[in-house]
């Protein structure tokens, strides 16, 4: 297998030096504010719209997309792009309805929102929930999948790759959100450029195999040779239906996944919470536009790898220890086919995606722990300097825990042929229906009480567990005709996890409504947010670009239905 050459390392070194030097320059330029906690965690008032948009994408696109989603593209095809294209619509909704509420009420963290809207108990429970989720699921998975990819490209030991990624990410994160936000602009440049190069080379290779040349010819051939990989909507008889159950991606659980991730997630919203409304909306709209490009960068290479594998490529590179196909190795195997120099650029793009996401996640962990746990429950009088210092310690500790988890359970959960991207989506889905129900009613139904929110917090998680284990005790085959159940490899009829999320969300809304009405009769008061219609007024340019993005997505679904 072709590994990195000297020219590739030089290209990667140029990337490393540019990002590090620029980050250090930003850090020194703003050093006078480094003792301010809001500046460190939120870069309050400092990020431009293009920095916000780039940071949103750089933080979102990581190993779970570059590796996990490419692997899912290898296995199930273009349909996995629904996470990206539906996210573009979701971002517009968040910009229109969610961000104005946060900014009007001076919300800086998600637990702060819960404390202000409900009470400290709900906020503290969710702060702990988020910390566990971010470290155990997100930070660990990004670190492991990223190290797996880099190990496959460089030939370095995977454990060494884990340590190197963690160290580089800590270096970026300790500069605070301002350094993360502005270095993310460079990270996105390398991510997009390197990703497009990898896609171009892959499609060219598909064309060359048929005696043709050119990326467009390669794409045309790819649609012919892997036609089953170019459908956005799966029918129940499709082997991948459990992962993407039919129209659920358009009218069901996919909305809960995306709205919770993009609108109720500290890791994401943090980029916009330090800006004014116009800047925040412009940045989010920029991110929505970039989302349209992501399947070209992360899904098409996976489909190309599938087509090439059918022709004898990657005969051994993609095998796991049991001799089975490991879809997580599709993207690294493809990168090994790139020419010298270009491979270094793609390697830099991959590293940029991983490091940016790790840095953003670690910063969010530090923000929640420092501002929402330590300052609220442990030391209410903590100075700004101490909060910043504790935030930096939190970054190091969280990354250490992620490294430890990657070494101990990373392979068991995401190795041996498992789809890493689907692992992240399913296990995040255990808490997202309850969280989203709590947020959406908290936004737009003033009567919602803290007891109702507490039900969504704990009850949503419990209901998700019940739906997960239910098939072990109840025969759900009677649901097969409706599309809400399908037999797995053991013959047990399960509910697709996206549908489970939809059911749990509906039950949470019903439960919260009942509890709120009972509380109201008992005289329990609720804490409404400050909302007025003028907050949701849109500029003509925002509306025009939003309609253009929605139109493009509608066209894509029409063509690839």
* Domain hosting residue 101, numbered range: 6-12+45-421+545-559
Separation of first and last alpha carbons in the chain: 37
d(CA 40, CA 387): 10
Indicate whether 443 pLDDT > 80.
Answer: yes
d(CA 288, CA 291): 5
Indicate whether 478 pLDDT > 80.
Answer: no
DSSP codes, 276-298: -HHHHHHHHHHHHHHHHHHHHHH
Predicted local confidence at residue 1, as pLDDT: 45
Q: How many C-beta atoms surround the C-beta of residue 417 within 10 A?
A: 18
Domain check: are 273 and 124 in the same one? yes
d(CA 382, CA 433): 34
Predicted local confidence at residue 68, as pLDDT: 74
Predicted local confidence at residue 543, as pLDDT: 93
User: Could you tell me the CATH number of the domain that includes residue 393?
Assistant: 1.20.1730.10
d(CA 243, CA 245): 6
pLDDT tens per residue, range 1-32: 456 788 888 887 887 787 777 766 766 665 55
Average pLDDT, the chain: 81
d(CA 431, CA 505): 10
Average pLDDT over residues 353-373: 81
Domain check: are 129 and 179 in the same one? yes
Domain check: are 329 and 269 in the same one? yes
Residue 26 maps to a domain = no
Beta strand residue intervals within 400-490, DSSP E: 486-487
d(CA 141, CA 64): 7
Query: Bridge-partner residues for 503, per DSSP?
Result: none
Residue 35 maps to a domain = no
Domain check: are 138 and 237 in the same one? yes
Domain check: are 279 and 313 in the same one? yes
Lowest average pLDDT, out of 28-37, 188-197, 328-337, goes to 28-37
Domain check: are 391 and 433 in the same one? no
Q: Enumerate residues 6+ apart whose C-beta is below 8 A from 214.
A: 204, 207
Predicted local confidence at residue 180, as pLDDT: 63
Confidence of residue 318 (pLDDT cuts 50, 70, 90): low
Answer for the pair 289, 281: CB distance below 8 angstroms, yes or no.
no
Domain check: are 403 and 466 in the same one? no
Residue 384 maps to a domain = yes
Categorise residue 45: left if φ over 0, alpha if ψ from -120 to 50, beta otherwise: left
Residues constituting the chain:
561
167 or 418, which is more confident? 167
Number of domains comprising the chain:
2
Residue 28 maps to a domain = no
Domain check: are 85 and 231 in the same one? yes
pLDDT tens per residue, range 224-249: 888 889 999 988 888 888 888 888 88
Residue 539 maps to a domain = no
Lowest average pLDDT, out of 76-80, 137-141, 414-418, goes to 414-418
Predicted local confidence at residue 410, as pLDDT: 66
Lowest average pLDDT, out of 41-50, 142-151, 477-486, goes to 41-50
Residue 536 maps to a domain = no
CA distance to 50, 57, 72, 188, per residue, from 284 (Å): 9, 10, 26, 15
Residue 538 maps to a domain = no
Q: What is the pTM of this model?
A: 0.81
Domain check: are 407 and 470 in the same one? no
Domain check: are 434 and 368 in the same one? no
Q: Which two tokens stand for residue 510?
A: 């019903």
Indicate whether 186 pLDDT > 90.
Answer: no
Domain check: are 315 and 449 in the same one? no
Q: What percent of the chain has pLDDT over 90?
A: 15
Residue 40 maps to a domain = no
Domain check: are 90 and 235 in the same one? yes
């Amino acid at each position: 297998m072709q590994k990195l050459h000297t020219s590739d390392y030089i290209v990667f070194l140029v990337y490393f030096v540019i990002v590090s030097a620029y980050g250090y320059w930003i850090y020194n330029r703003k050093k006078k504010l480094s003792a301010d906690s809001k500046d460190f965690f939120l870069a309050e008032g400092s990020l431009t719209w293009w920095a916000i948009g780039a940071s949103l994408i750089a933080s979102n696109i990581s190993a779970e997309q570059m590796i996990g989603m490419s692997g899912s593209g290898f296995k199930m095809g273009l349909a996995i792009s629904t996470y990206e294209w539906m996210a573009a619509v979701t971002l517009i909704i968040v910009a229109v309805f969610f961000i104005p509420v946060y900014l009007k009420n001076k919300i800086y963290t998600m637990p702060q929102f819960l404390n202000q809207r409900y009470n400290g108990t709900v906020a503290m429970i969710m702060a702990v929930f988020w910390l566990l989720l971010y470290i155990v699921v997100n930070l660990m998975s990004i670190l492991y999948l990223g190290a797996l990819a880099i190990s496959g490209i460089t030939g370095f030991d995977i454990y060494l790759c884990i340590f190197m990624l963690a160290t580089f990410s800590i270096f970026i994160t300790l500069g605070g959100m301002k350094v993360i936000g502005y270095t993310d602009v460079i990270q996105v440049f390398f991510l997009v450029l390197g990703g497009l190069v990898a896609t171009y080379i892959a499609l060219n290779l598909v064309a060359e195999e048929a005696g043709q040349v050119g990326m467009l010819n390669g794409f045309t051939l790819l649609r012919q040779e892997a036609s089953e990989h170019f459908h956005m909507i799966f029918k129940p008889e499709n082997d991948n239906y459990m992962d993407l159950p039919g129209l659920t991606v358009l009218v069901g659980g996919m909305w809960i996944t995306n709205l919770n991730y993009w609108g109720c997630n500290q890791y994401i919203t943090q980029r916009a919470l330090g800006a004014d409304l116009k800047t925040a909306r412009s940045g989010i709209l920029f991110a929505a536009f970039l989302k349209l490009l992501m399947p070209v960068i992360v899904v098409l290479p996976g489909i190309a790898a599938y087509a090439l594998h059918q022709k004898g490529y990657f005969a051994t590179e993609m095998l796991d220890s049991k001799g089975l196909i490991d879809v997580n190795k599709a993207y690294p195997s493809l990168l090994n086919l790139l020419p010298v120099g270009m491979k270094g650029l793609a390697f830099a793009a991959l590293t940029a995606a991983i490091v940016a996401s790790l840095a953003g996640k670690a910063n969010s962990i530090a923000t929640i722990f420092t501002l929402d746990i330590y300052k609220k429950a442990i030391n209410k009088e903590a100075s700004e300097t101490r909060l910043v210092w504790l935030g930096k310690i939190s970054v190091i500790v969280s990354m250490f825990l992620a490294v430890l988890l990657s070494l101990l359970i990373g392979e068991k959960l995401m190795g041996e042929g498992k789809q890493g991207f689907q692992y992240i989506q399913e296990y995040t889905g255990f808490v997202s229906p309850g969280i989203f129900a709590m947020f959406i009613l908290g936004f737009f139904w003033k009567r919602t009480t803290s007891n109702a929110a507490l039900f969504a917090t704990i009850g949503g998680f419990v209901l998700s567990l019940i739906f997960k284990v239910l098939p072990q005790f109840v025969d759900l085959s009677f649901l097969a005709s409706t599309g809400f159940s399908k037999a797995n490899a053991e013959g047990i009829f399960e509910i697709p996890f996206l549908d489970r999320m939809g059911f749990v969300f509906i039950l949470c809304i019903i439960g919260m409504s009942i509890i709120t009405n009972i509380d109201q009769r008992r005289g329990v008061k609720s804490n409404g947010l400050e909302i007025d219609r003028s907050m949701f007024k849109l500029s003509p340019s925002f509306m025009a670009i939003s309609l253009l993005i929605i139109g493009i997505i509608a066209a894509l679904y029409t063509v690839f239905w």
